[in-house]
Structure 1
Amino acid sequence: MTVAIYPGSFDPITNGHIDIATRAARLFERLIIGVYETPSKYLLFTTEERVELAEKAVAHLPNVEVQSFNGLTVDFARKVKAQTMVRGLRMSADFDGEFDLAMMNKKLSPELELVCLMSSLKYQFLSSSLLKEAASLGGNVDDLVPRPVAEALKKKAAELQTEIKEMIPQE
């Protein structure tokens, strides 16, 4: 069975991620979306929330599952017996970063192949960071994420606004 992993922080998962996962699911018998537990990075959603949102987003893809992982991505690939890692590329800047990661991963795990899929044109600008910023400022991102993610973003934005208001001294 051909198994591939599609790792990332997915904070949150976007329609661009789902586009890559959908296309990768046609290439492999089993695709595992690996949600990285990123302790050194500021995240809007917890690992559990990111896994849950990703599961809802890919529920329509029968050969796709979601798991969280920590440590080296190549170790996660070995654990789930994946032969291939899938990555999405939006622009040349993504390629530069992915190339460096690919070389390190190849050094650590020569048997793990890398497949890069180009983002669909309509998602080339989309990043989770940009999406979070727009949502936090009240922007409508409903057409850029699945409905459960849009709802979760709105809830988080409201919680953050409340926290900010509570930090401001009342006169």
Structure 2
Amino acid sequence: MRIAVYPGSFDPITNGHLDIIERASRVYEKLVVGVLSNASKTPLFSAEKRVEMIRLVTKHLDNVEVDTFTGLLVDFAASKNATVIVKGLRTVADFEYEFQMALLNKALNPEYETMFMMTNTKYSYISSSMVKELAGFHGDLTGLVPCEIIETIEEKYK
């Protein structure tokens, strides 16, 4: 079985993330969305809440699993029997950073391949940071994040 991991903080998940999840789920028999729990950062949502939101918006995808991880991505991928790491790209800057990370992951475990997927152009300007900033000013999140989680995000800023 071809298993891939799509890692990220997803704080919160955006329509760009969901686009990559949906497309990667058609390429691989199983896609594991790995929600990074990083103790050195203070996310808007807990890792558990991020997992809950991703599960809600991916419930239509039978071959998608969502889980949290800490530590090295290659260790998480190994725990899921994955051999591919999926990374979404919006810009050349994303590519430069993700290319370095792919080389590091390859050095840590030569068995892993990284697959880069370009985001749909209609989502190329969306980032979780931008969503949080807009939500902080009570801006309209329609079209930026899945509609099922807009209220959850807005509640954080009331």
Give the shorter-chain TM-score range: over 0.9
Q: Looking at CA atoms only, which structure, 1 or 2, has the larger radius of gyration?
A: 1
Structure 1: runs of 5+ lacking an equivalent: 159-171
Verify: 1:147 aligned to 2:121, yes or no: no
What TM-score does the superposition give when structure 1 sets the normalisation length?
A: 0.91
TM-score (norm 2): 0.98
1:100-133 deviation digits (Å, cap 9, x = unpaired): 1111101001101100000100000000001100
After TM superposition, the structure 1 = structure 2 runs for residues 1-171 of structure 1, keeping only pairs within 5 Å, are 1-158=1-158
Residue aligned with 1:85, SS: strand
For residues 69-105 of structure 1, give each alpha carbon's deviation from its aligned partner in whole angstroms, at most 9, with x where no partner exists: 1110000000000010000000000001001111110
* RCO higher in structure (CA 8 A, sep ≥6): 2
What one-letter code is carried by the residue in structure 2 that aligns with 1:106?
Answer: K
Distance 1:2 1:24 in 2: 11
How large is the Cα RMSD of the aligned pairs? 0.7
- Report how far residue 39 of structure 1 moved: 1.2
Q: Distance in 2 between matches of 1:9 and 1:96?
A: 19
Letter in 2 for 1:117: M
CA distance in structure 2 between the partners assigned to 1:148 and 1:48 by the alignment: 17
Structure 2: 5+ residue stretches without partners: none
Q: Per-residue deviation at 1:42? A: 2.3
Give the stretch that moved more between structures: 145-154 or 21-30.
145-154
The whole-number CA distance in structure 1 between the counterparts of 2:38 and 2:129 is: 15
Query: Which letter maps to 1:58?
Result: T
Letter in 1 for 2:63: N
Distance in 2 (CA, whole Å) between partners of 1:148 and 1:21 is: 16
**Structure 1 counterpart SS, 2:66:** strand
1:110-160: CA deviations, max 9, x gaps?
1011000001000000000011000111100122111232111110011xx
* Secondary structure of residue in 1 paired with 2:5: strand
Identity of aligned residues (%): 48
Count of equivalent residues = 158
